[in-house]
Structure 1
Amino acid sequence: MKKLKILYTIPNFDTAGSGKVVYDLVKGLDKTRFEPEILVKHNRGEFFKEVEKLGVPIHVFNYETDYYPLWSFPRRLWKVVRFFKGLDVDIIHSWHWSSDFSEPLAARLAGKSFIYTKKAMGWGNKAWIWRSKLSHHVIAINKAMMTEFFGNSSRIKATYLPLGLDTEVYKPRPYNQVIADQYDFQKTDFVVISVVNMVEVKGIEILIEAVIQSQIPNIKLLLVGNDQTDYVDMLRVQSKMHSNIIFTGKQAEVQNFLSVADVFVIPTKNEGEGMPMAPVEAMAMGIPVIGSGVAGIEDILEGFDDWLFEASNIEELAKLLQKIHQLPQHDLRKLREQIRQKVARSYPIEMFIKTRSNLYEKLYNK
């Protein structure tokens, strides 16, 4: 039986979110059925070193083409077409976050099947329609995408397939005393954590204000993620009078930070999420999650609706922080077990890999 050759395109592995998902997929594919390759725009970033250890072919090439000026678009596009033609692959699976349609157009012209994973809730321009119609298939990673983006078009073939997580890697860990000592935490402290790409849509200012308003004794807030942005500078000003609000910067070993947390909060604003993996990782480790009631987050907290709050509602979030802080130990232990079981049941890594594998074979055998 012929092995299918799958090319995964992703801009880079600078940030761990989608990069880790692609890494898990490439690593987990049945190598008797598939031969994966990876295409990136650059090879910078610490996590790229881990990707290299997979031992699969990695190409570095800018596969996205600016539309303007229009007169030179065909010539520039043809460079990408030639590159794709030169690769011995059957299917291109894009993990690009943008609405760019030059990539699927080039893939089509090169005679390759093209799939893309819709990673976020952006849909504000016609380019998304073109990207979707030029694709042989679209993978939606939350339920809202199917109704809001793909439900009314017979010309777009889309399927809801959530991401997955290895619960043998993400599982409850002992309290990390090194992290606790680094930030002067005591076991009696109530530690709130958010692991997040620090951009405005994530609503971190809402979380900071809710932590302040909650007035929980010994509350600490750990904000893990890139802190070298204008947005974070604004957040520092907001929290400068509060030493219990800590920006850690980007961290490689996030599980060590999660181990000291009592609750994870994802306070995304109304724009919504695709399928944020950081709170799923926390849930797999048995850490309760509080999230705003927006697309993507509603999926992962399905069955735990009591822990959703109205997006941007500081008072509601503060009350939920107080509620989890006051939860009796018996109820807290039960909640921790239930949320870990939710991840194991709904997002197993095996199902994540199987559904993609089946889609590749179905697409190729058409």
Structure 2
Amino acid sequence: MEKIKILFTIGNLDVGGAEKLIINQVKNIDKDKFEPCLCTLFPYGPHDYSKVFEELKGIPYQKFSFKGPLDVSSWLKVYTFLKKEKFDIFCCHLFESNFIIRLLNYFVGSKPVFIFEHNVYSKKQWWKIVADKIFAKRTSKIFVDSQAILDFTSNQENISKSKFAILPYPIELSEQKNFDKTKIKQELGLPASSFVVGSVARFVEQKGLPYLIRSIPKILEKIRRDDVYFLIVGYGKMQDELQDLARELKLDSRLLIRPAMDIKEVLPILDVFVISSLWEGQPIAMLEAMAYGVPVVATKVGGIPEILFDGKEGILAEPKDSESLSSGIIKMIESDDLRVRVSQNAKEMARSFSLPVYINKLEEYFINEHHARNK
């Protein structure tokens, strides 16, 4: 059988759930059935991408650098690339990529297009909503990771629910490495014997990190131990604001805010993992923490309550509510039995999100659509 030539596109490969997902898709899709190519459309940030490109060795990769919607030169370059390569299928992540490829697809043969909606975008601009609605008519399938995103996007953009398919985010359930926890803590500036409550997230409004930081004084005031420290790892435009807030609350000695690093290096030292998001799809970081057996406290938003049940796989807190967050975190800190129980339940739940099962389902959609178009 002739291989199906498929282009995976995204803005760039900055640290985030969508970026992690597209890398897993490109790496793990069956190379005997598909000929994948990865394409990024926008310039990269200042981060170190060496590990990312190491993962993608052997995968054809095309990089563009759109400077804005009126960058005619980049539009022409992408159009020429698509016309020349004659892809059978396009698979796009995030709005900018979805928009550019679906628009150009009108001029390169109207190939099957699959797009991913990764979140509940309550503040999406009106013209983006209109564009999504228009393009939906010639989109093969819109993938979402939860019922919450499906319902919200369908209602927001007035798109039939039959156009959507739920594909929960996968996680790699690979064997956990034996990290030197003491060494990692030392490198981060944490005492070796510390009990660590942590979060790994982009420093943006969506992640609700100010609410987490404001919960810390309440926690420190109420808990009956003095070995608890807090760690927030990530990057983003709110970094200065978060550090200023930590100083204002005099948390310098108990809260560390550190640059982005691989979550697999952070999870081994965490005793509690926190998701403080104001809105979400299905956060990969939370699933990875669950798979690793780190007890989770998460806000009750988006697709989170679909996989984490309060008191079973973790603790749910109200969004935009530091009191609710602090209450959940205190429960986790003070109950060894609770942490053990939710850790075991969360590990069991995470097994249903295996990467091979996800890839098989994704391939099935691609193959069925390709065959339907080429009868």
Q: TM-score, normalised by structure 1?
A: 0.87
Corresponding residue of 2:32: 32
- Alignment equivalent of 1:245, drawn from 242, 246, 255: 255
Corresponding residue of 2:118: 119
Q: What is the letter of the counterpart of residue 89 of structure 2? A: I
Q: What is the letter of the counterpart of residue 229 of structure 2? A: K
Q: What is the letter of the counterpart of residue 57 of structure 1? A: P
Alignment of 1:109-258 (within 5 A): 109-111=107-109, 112-122=111-121, 124=124, 125=126, 126-150=130-154, 153-154=159-160, 157-169=163-175, 171=176, 173=178, 176-182=181-187, 183-187=189-193, 189-215=194-220, 216=223, 217=225, 218-226=227-235, 229=237, 231-240=238-247, 241-242=250-251, 243-251=253-261, 253-258=262-267
Aligned pair 1:296/2:303, yes or no? yes
Listed as ranges, the gaps of 5+ residues in structure 1 are none
Q: Distance in 1 between matches of 2:292 and 2:371?
A: 39
Aligned pair 1:88/2:86, yes or no? yes
RMSD: 2.6
Contact 1:64–1:102 (CA under 8 A) maintained in structure 2: no
Distance 1:184 1:355, change over 3 A: same
Displacement of 1:100 in angstroms is 5.6
Report the secondary structure of 1:86's partner residue.
Answer: helix
Contact 2:9–2:97 (CA under 8 A) maintained in structure 1: no
Q: Distance in 2 between matches of 1:292 and 1:364?
A: 40
Listed as ranges, the gaps of 5+ residues in structure 2 are none
Q: Distance in 2 between matches of 1:59 and 1:166?
A: 26
> CA deviation digits over 1:131-189, x for unaligned, max 9?
433422111112112222226534972111111011115x48556111222323242x3
Q: Distance in 1 between matches of 2:286 and 2:95?
A: 20
Q: What is the letter of the counterpart of residue 60 of structure 2? A: P
Corresponding residue of 1:54: 57
Distance 1:98 1:82, change over 3 A: closer
Report the secondary structure of 2:106's partner residue.
Answer: helix
Moved more, 42-51 or 241-250: 42-51
Report the secondary structure of 2:341's partner residue.
Answer: helix
Q: Distance in 2 between matches of 1:181 and 1:234?
A: 26
Report the secondary structure of 2:196's partner residue.
Answer: strand
Q: What is the letter of the counterpart of residue 244 of structure 1? A: R
Corresponding residue of 1:355: 361
Displacement of 1:312 in angstroms is 0.9
Displacement of 1:17 in angstroms is 3.0
Report the secondary structure of 1:46's partner residue.
Answer: coil
Q: What is the letter of the counterpart of residue 303 of structure 2? A: G
Q: Distance in 2 between matches of 1:128 and 1:47?
A: 31
Distance 1:301 1:134, change over 3 A: same
How many residue pairs get aligned? The number is: 352
Corresponding residue of 1:343: 350
Report the secondary structure of 1:101's partner residue.
Answer: helix
- Alignment equivalent of 1:107, drawn from 81, 105, 108: 105
Q: TM-score, normalised by structure 2?
A: 0.85
Displacement of 1:275 in angstroms is 2.1
